[in-house]
Amino acid sequence: MTSLEAPQSTPLTIPTVLLTRTGDTTATLFGGLTVDLTKSGPTTPADEEALRGSSLVLTTGDDLPHAALAQLRDSAIPVLFASSPWLREHRTVVLLDGVATLGSHTLRYDDVLGVVIT
């Protein structure tokens, strides 16, 4: 790199669990396990497996700007995740009617395409 080239910024990556909310019920995207994000204490192996099945890593460059992911990064880690070595760095994106807003972007899950960001 010459002194005139701008350094590449490091992509921001956020481990994330996709959840859905219907009324007062929050559940994993896959498997439909009801989740209480405010519950403290250890998660069961079955709970962690269900949450793992609905997890992904969001990265800048995947049609998400740094500012949108920074907003997610700065959100609180759910109490439920705090006692789990695997989940303690994960954030949640909760889909309401199949859609979640992250900054000025919309995330939705499509059965064929996966996560779609617009």
Q: Does a structural domain hold residue 8? A: no
Q: Please tell me whether the overall predicted TM-score, pTM, comes out greater than 0.85 for this model.
A: no
Residue 50's domain comprises: 13-117
Q: Does a structural domain hold residue 5? A: no
Mean pLDDT of the residues in the chain: 84
Average pLDDT over residues 8-26: 86
More confident residue, 17 or 68: 17
Q: Give the model confidence (pLDDT) of 82-96 as tens digits.
A: 888 889 899 999 999
Q: Does a structural domain hold residue 4? A: no
Is 80 exceeded by the pLDDT of residue 22?
yes
Is 50 exceeded by the pLDDT of residue 54?
yes
Q: Does a structural domain hold residue 51? A: yes
Distance CA(20)–CA(98), nearest Å, equals 7
Q: Does a structural domain hold residue 35? A: yes
- Total number of domains in the chain: 1
